[in-house]
Each structure stands twice: as C-alpha cells, then as structure tokens.
C-alpha cells in the first residue's frame, strides 16, 4: 500500500486492509503449515530475485556498502528463513509436559497457536532486517501481518511496498508506508500483537496505544551499550572487533558499542590500536572509504556534530555535511554529564573513558539504565564471572562485539529501558504464538475425593 500524498492523513486503505487481514485470519488459512512454509519460501524468492534493487535501496538510504548490506540484511534474512524452515515443524508441534499424580491419568502439553493479526513497526537503521526478521517469525507462527517500515529509509520502504504484494499472500500481508501519523493511525486499531523497533520515546507511545486494548507488545529499543576492556585482554583483537562493531553502518546500530570503559593501565595502548584498526579497515581517509556508510539525514548529522563540541578528539573528527559523512571518531574521557555520555550516540563517535579496573567499570554501568548489549574484553575468567554477575544487559558478548546476532539459538531483546520481549529463532516463533495449555484427562478412572461434600478427613490426603 503506497503512502498517501498528505502524510498527515492516514491512507484510507488502512482499515480495508486491516479488515481483510482479520478475515483471512478468521478463515484459518494462515494456520495451515503448508501456507506458512510457502510464504517463507516466497519471501526467500523475493530477496534472491531482487538482490540488486535491495542493495541499491540500502545504498540510497544509508550509503551501505554491498558487503555490509549483504551480511547484515539480505544474507542475514536468508539465513533466518533457512533456520525457520528447518525447524518450523518442530516449533509448531505440541510440546508435552509431565502431569502430576493428582491429575493422573491424563496428559498435558502446550499447543502453539497463532495470535492473529499483528503489527510490525520498523526503524530506519537496518530498514529491511528490522521489519522482515519479525515478519519471518510472525509468518512461521501463522499470523497475518501489517508491516510499517520507517519513513526515514524511504527507498527501502518503497521497495518493500512494491515487492511484498508481488510475492506474498495479499489477503494476509500488507505493507503500509508513512510517518508518525500513519503509525499512530495503525496504533489506534486493535491488534493481536505489536512488535516495535525504535527509540524509547516512541516505545512509550506504542505501549500506551497497546494498553487501550491490552495488546501484548514487544519493544526492541536501544540505549548506551558499554564496552569494557580489562587490562588482561588481547588489545589488538579487542581493537579490531570494537572497530568492526562500532563503525559498521556508521555507528547507527542499536547494539554498537556506545562507549568504552578501559582499565587505565592499557588505555593508551587501546587508543593506539583503535586508530591503527580504523586505518586497517577503512584506509587513511575513512570518510572516503567505499566500505563506510553515511549518516541517515541532516538532523542526525547536526545532532552528532554538536556532540563533538569541546571534546578531546584523538581520532577522526572530520565531517562533511554535503555528503552527510562523519569520520570514525574517538573522544577521550568526556565528562559523564556531557550529552555524549547521557544520550545514546547512534553514530560514529566512540567515547573512551579510563577506569581503574573492571570493578569500577561495573559500578559505572549499574548506575545507568540497563543496556541492550554489553561487551567485555578479558582473558581472566574471574573478571568475566564477576562482570556477568554484577551487571545486567539484554545480551552480552565476551571478547567480541555483536556476534551473538549470528546465533539463532540466542534470544535477542532488551531489559529495562532497552526493551521487553525477545525474538530470533524459536524465541521469535514463540513471541508470535500463544502457547495454549492443554490437559487431557482420561475418563477411565475418577477419584472422587476432590468433589463435595467436603469433610475434614479429605484434607489429610
Ligand atoms: P524511527 O525514527 O525510524 O522510528 C521507528 C518507527 O517508529 C518508525 O516506523 C516511525 O514511523 C515510527 N514512529 C516515529 N515517531 C512516532 C510516533 N510519534 N508515533 C508512532 N510511531 C512513530 O527510528 P528511531 O526511533 O530513530 O530508531 C532509533 C532507535 O531505535 C535507537 O534508540 C536504536 O537503538 C533503536 N533500535 C533498536 C533496535 C533493536 O533491535 N533493539 C534496532 C534498531 C534500532
């Protein structure tokens, strides 16, 4: 469904599409395992047959390099579909659980059932992955879905609106394009689940809209993900992996390391290694590297440039507003009260702050909102155990950044203000399913003790 000309007015087709999807769910077509499998295969076909159009759209919206676009969007989604197709049957099967003696003879199980018609609202930074990965889970679980891609990645949004109807079952799936007014018009409807990816402020809007109908929500939000570097760590590896995780997509990744807390004894060595790695990965003038993306729009460019005011820049710092480019930039020891250390950066600036040791780093982390991700570089098992025990985060990666995303068996989601609910692999399937409790009792035997009339002797049994 294409965007209405006036973005302030929701597309008049929204309610029609919504009613049609609800009808399709009621008539039961999406429950059919064959339908789910066929839709996932169609989505795979869409991605394979339109690879160059997708790469072009990602280039237009974010200047993403082909390799990055492939690994973090197309390739990622294809792997997700493959994993889902492989396990779909077992995820959808009833899940037996034991039955206590008091309920014998009988058997008990969980029966996954689709929720109904769900709304998926995506963010701009991985404009396909953030809409299509939850969509894969929603389809696998047998739901109808409306996808609302971010208007801030307009080429990707338009491409989804064009391709989805060509490949997918239009009775059960719709794309609605538009900005916040369209999003709010959608949120005013009654959904069976809302899956939202984006910032905290809008997360609250989504949650209060959902509250009106007691609709369950998954909120995939953000925050400042810390990266702790212990003195007992492989600094060269730490620097290489921090540079990869931080500057992919120009730092516009919800799980990018937001700031580094490094033990003072290795701080200088780390900064030198980070500078070297930036050069190794992006060349002598990274701002011109074809592998390095750009800032999504002028207002984010200005926000990020302002964060650099009066900072001690020890790497990068070059900006080019005409191309919306900011070089990979490292800032040393900014004040904890600065905007740089108060806001989620969501861009290519990396503050590096020195601490005495990992105990002090943990003290700093726990005084702040719970992050989406936490990274720790250490070779010391006791330090690892202690950081894991003292801190809370949606996901943790020890001695790397972001790699937990490569494991479909690990759930992905935030904690506290970084979000609620989870997905990826079976966790996504379960998010879009109701696990119905079923107990089947035999009629062959009927112990009458639980029935009235009650008498005190029954309590002793
Ligand atoms: P965004 O501006 O693209 O907004 C996200 C969605 O919300 C869009 O579809 C938009 O149309 C809609 N929206 C915007 N304002 C609205 C309003 N007032 N009412 C209703 N809907 C509205 O994305 P963003 O919020 O700038 O995204 C960046 C944030 O998302 C960061 O905090 C980042 O960490 C987080 N994020 C989280 C994940 C994750 O998986 N946890 C992934 C990507 C981004």
- Give the domain CATH number at 378: 3.40.309.10
Residues marked active site are found at 220, 254
Task: Give dist(CA 156, CA 62) in Å, integer.
Answer: 10
Residue 156 included in any domain = yes
Q: Are residues 50 and 74 in the same domain?
A: yes
Q: Are residues 333 and 425 in the same domain?
A: no
Residue 4 included in any domain = no
The bridge status of strand 395-398 relative to strand 373-377 is: parallel
Task: Give dist(CA 61, CA 444) in Å, integer.
Answer: 66
Which residue's C-alpha comes closest to atom 40 of ligand 1?
220
Residue 455 included in any domain = no
Range of the domain at 326: 226-406
Task: List, in sequence order, every residue forming a beta bridge with 413; answer none if it has no partner.
Answer: none
Which residue's C-alpha comes closest to atom 24 of ligand 1?
198
Which amino acids bring their CB within 6 angstroms of ligand 1?
A: 121-125, 130, 148, 150-152, 179-180, 183-184, 197-199, 202, 205, 220-222, 254, 344, 346, 372, 414, 419
Q: Are residues 244 and 389 in the same domain?
A: yes
Nearby residues of 7 by Cβ (< 8 Å), 6 or more positions away: 151, 178, 179, 181, 182
Q: What is the ipTM of this complex?
A: 0.97
Give the pLDDT score at 9: 44
* Residue in 72, 130, 131, 202 to alter for ligand 1 test, most ligand atoms within 8 A of Cβ: 202
Q: Are 137 and 115 in contact (CB under 8 A)?
A: no
Task: Give dist(CA 257, CA 236) in Å, integer.
Answer: 17
Final residue of a structural domain among 363, 384, 406: 406
- Give the domain CATH number at 74: 3.40.605.10
Final residue of a structural domain among 406, 428, 455: 406
Question: Around 385, how many Cα atoms within 13 Å sit in the side-chain half-sphere?
Answer: 3
Q: Are residues 70 and 128 in the same domain?
A: yes
Alpha-carbon Rg for the chain in angstroms = 25
- What atom in ligand 1 is closest to the CA of residue 153? 3
Task: Give dist(CA 335, CA 385) in Å, integer.
Answer: 29
Q: Is 218 helix (H, G, I), strand (E, B) or coil?
A: strand
What domain count does the chain have? Answer: 2
- Which tokens hold the place of 162? 């064009």
Helix axes 33-49, 51-62, angle to 10 degrees: 70
Give the pLDDT score at 10: 46
Residue 459 included in any domain = no
Q: Are residues 297 and 211 in the same domain?
A: no
Residue 50 included in any domain = yes
Task: Report the 3 state secondary structure along 251-310.
Answer: HCCCCCCCEEEEEHHHHHHHHHHHHHHHHHHHCCCHHHCCCCCCCCCHHHHHHHHHHCCC
- Which tokens hold the place of 107? 């058997």
Q: Are residues 198 and 147 in the same domain?
A: yes
Residue 2 included in any domain = no
Give the pLDDT score at 455: 82
Q: Are residues 265 and 175 in the same domain?
A: no
Task: Give dist(CA 220, CA 211) in Å, integer.
Answer: 17
Q: Are residues 364 and 433 in the same domain?
A: no
CA of 186 to the centre of ligand 1 (A): 15
Residue 448 included in any domain = no
> Measured on CA atoms in the order 355, 357, 360, 361, is the torsion positive or negative?
positive
Q: What is the residue-level pLDDT of the chain in tens, covering all 461 positions?
A: 544 444 444 456 798 899 999 999 999 999 999 999 999 999 999 999 999 999 999 999 999 999 999 999 999 999 999 999 999 999 999 999 999 999 999 999 999 999 999 999 999 999 999 999 999 999 999 999 999 999 999 999 999 999 999 999 999 999 999 999 999 999 999 999 999 999 999 999 999 999 999 999 999 999 999 999 999 999 999 999 999 999 999 999 999 999 999 999 999 999 999 999 999 999 999 999 999 999 999 999 999 999 999 999 999 999 999 999 999 999 999 999 999 999 999 999 999 999 999 999 999 999 999 999 999 999 999 999 999 999 999 999 999 999 999 999 999 999 999 999 999 999 999 999 999 999 999 999 998 888 998 887 777 76
CA of 197 to the centre of ligand 1 (A): 5
Which residue's C-alpha comes closest to atom 15 of ligand 1?
180
Q: Are residues 239 and 199 in the same domain?
A: no
Final residue of a structural domain among 406, 430, 448: 406
pTM of the model: 0.95
CA of 123 to the centre of ligand 1 (A): 4
Give the pLDDT score at 5: 40
Q: Are residues 128 and 190 in the same domain?
A: yes
Task: Give dist(CA 312, CA 333) in Å, integer.
Answer: 8
Q: Are residues 20 and 116 in the same domain?
A: yes
Closest Cα partner for 238 from 426, 440, 401, 364? 401
Q: Are residues 314 and 204 in the same domain?
A: no
Q: Are 261 and 226 in contact (CB under 8 A)?
A: yes
Identify the burial level of 186 via C-beta atoms within 10 angstroms of its C-beta, where 0-12 means exposed, 13-18 middle and 19 or more buried.
Answer: buried
Residue 453 included in any domain = no
């Amino acid at each position: 469904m294409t965007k209405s000309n006036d973005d302030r007015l929701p597309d008049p087709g929204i309610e029609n599409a919504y009613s049609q999807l609800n009808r399709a769910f009621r008539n039961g077509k999406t429950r059919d395992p064959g339908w789910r499998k066929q839709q996932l295969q169609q989505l795979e076909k869409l991605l394979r047959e339109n690879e160059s159009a997708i790469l072009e759209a990602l280039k237009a919206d974010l200047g993403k390099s082909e390799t990055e676009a492939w690994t973090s969007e197309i390739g990622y989604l294809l792997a997700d579909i493959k994993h889902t197709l492989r396990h779909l049957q077992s995820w959808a099967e009833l899940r037996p659980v034991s039955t206590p003696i008091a309920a014998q003879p009988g058997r008990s199980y969980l029966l996954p059932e689709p929720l109904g018609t769900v709304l998926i609202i995506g963010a701009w930074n991985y404009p396909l992955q953030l809409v299509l990965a939850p969509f894969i889970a929603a389809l696998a679980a047998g739901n109808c879905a409306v996808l609302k891609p971010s208007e801030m990645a307009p080429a990707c949004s338009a491409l989804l609106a064009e391709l989805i109807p060509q490949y997918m079952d239009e009775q059960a799936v719709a794309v609605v394009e538009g900005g916040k007014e369209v999003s709010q018009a959608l949120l005013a409807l009654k959904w069976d689940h809302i899956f939202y990816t984006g910032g905290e402020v809008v997360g609250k809007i989504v949650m209060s809209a959902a509250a009106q109908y007691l609709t369950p929500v998954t909120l995939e939000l953000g925050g400042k993900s810390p990266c702790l570097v212990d003195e007992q760590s492989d600094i060269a590896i730490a620097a290489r992996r921090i540079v990869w995780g931080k500057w992919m997509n120009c730092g516009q990744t919800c799980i990018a390391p937001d700031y580094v807390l490094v033990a003072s004894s290795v701080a200088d060595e780390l900064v030198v290694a980070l500078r070297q790695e930036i050069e190794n990965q992006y060349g002598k003038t990274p701002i011109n590297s074809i592998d390095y993306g750009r800032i999504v729009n002028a207002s984010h460019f200005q926000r990020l440039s302002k964060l650099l005011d009066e900072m001690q820049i020890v790497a990068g710092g070059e900006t080019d507003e005409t191309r919306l480019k900011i070089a990979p930039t490292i800032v040393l020891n900014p004040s904890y009260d600065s905007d740089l250390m108060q806001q989620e950066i969501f861009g290519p600036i990396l503050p590096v702050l020195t601490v005495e040791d990992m105990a002090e780093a943990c003290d700093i982390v726990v005084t702040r909102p719970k992050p989406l991700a936490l990274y720790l570089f250490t070779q010391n098992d006791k330090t690892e155990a202690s950081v894991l025990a003292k801190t809370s985060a949606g996901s943790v990666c020890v001695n790397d950044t972001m790699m937990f995303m490569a494991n479909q068996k690990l759930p992905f989601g935030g904690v506290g203000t970084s979000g609620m609910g989870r997905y990826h692999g079976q966790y996504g399937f379960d998010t879009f399913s109701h696990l119905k409790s079923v107990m089947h009792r035999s009629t062959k035997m009927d112990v009458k003790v639980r029935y009235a009339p009650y008498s005190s002797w029954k309590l002793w049994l």
